[in-house]
Amino acid sequence: METLDEVGLGTMGIADSETIVLAIERGYRHLDTAQIYDNESVVGEGIARADCDRKSLFVSTKVWIDQLEYEAVIQSTHESLDRLGLEYIDMLYVHRPRDTYDPSETFAAFEELVNRGIVNHIGVSNFEVPQLQRARKQLDAPLFANQVEYHPLFQPDGTLADAQENDYYLVAYSPLANGRASEIPEVVDVAQNHAVTPEAVCIAWLTDKDNVIVIPKASSKAHLRANRNATTLKLNSTEKSQIDGIERETEFFPE
């Protein structure tokens, strides 16, 4: 499996290409966008402006739920490429298994795009274990990633176990609990132990898990740097268990 950085950049809500340039300058190589974010052109402009070899970047986007019929997948992906200004996409996701999604038809289109050489890897997003099992039955190419909401207040243990068992990435979005990391007592307690921020603890806790990478959104130089540096923080087993054991469940982006 191709190795990805533990911390990538989630771009939902980013409307200024300068943020993309800053992220690349600070070492970010995994950039995540989506058709529904309406900012693929912003991400593409940032890539074009940055002094970075395209081959060193891993760029992913997602096909929205109203474009998952075979021809719509093909057409909308070409439109995404045009907006991004790229010749290929490193990973294409099914954004959610809803609306026009049909596993046989949708994944046939995804695999056709792989065969054409304009998509390198196939991913899914917001899939639960039964949906993952069905997806794998339709795919000849290996599943590369499942992107899910994952943070101390929402811990999808079943999808994590499936990723580890079948050796693909679990890409954690909203890893900082939608900006509420500092409101989680267990996380704050661990942060105080290390004299770091609660946000750093969230990232360190997640990236310590096998097969997990994170894509927090950040726009300032300080936050871009801090998120990448958080992987150097090492939590002990008691601290990790303290966060693992949080019983409250808050999903910020439900179906």
Q: What is the CATH number of the domain that holds 112?
A: 3.20.20.100
User: Domain count of the chain?
Assistant: 1
Where in the sequence is the domain holding 134, given as residue range(s)?
A: 9-180+202-233
pLDDT mean by block of 10 residues, the chain; 255 residues: 92 97 97 98 98 96 98 98 98 97 98 97 98 96 96 97 97 97 97 97 98 96 95 97 94 88
Cα separation, 155 vs 150, whole angstroms: 6
Q: Give the contacts of 250 (CB within 8 A, at least 6 positions apart).
A: 153, 154, 177
Bridge partners, 122 (sequence order): 92, 143
Question: Is the residue at 185 inside a domain?
Answer: no
Q: Give the contacts of 54 (CB within 8 A, at least 6 positions apart).
A: 47, 86
pLDDT confidence of residue 141 = 86
The DSSP output letter for 245 is T
Report CA-CA distances (Å) from 96 to 60, 64, 103, 131, 158.
15, 7, 12, 10, 17
> Global pTM?
0.96
pLDDT confidence of residue 1 = 76
Phi and psi angles of residue 237, each rounded to the nearest 5 degrees, phi first: -60, -35
Question: Is the residue at 41 inside a domain?
Answer: yes
Question: Is the residue at 27 inside a domain?
Answer: yes
Question: Is the residue at 188 inside a domain?
Answer: no
198 close to 178: Cβ distance less than 8 angstroms:
no
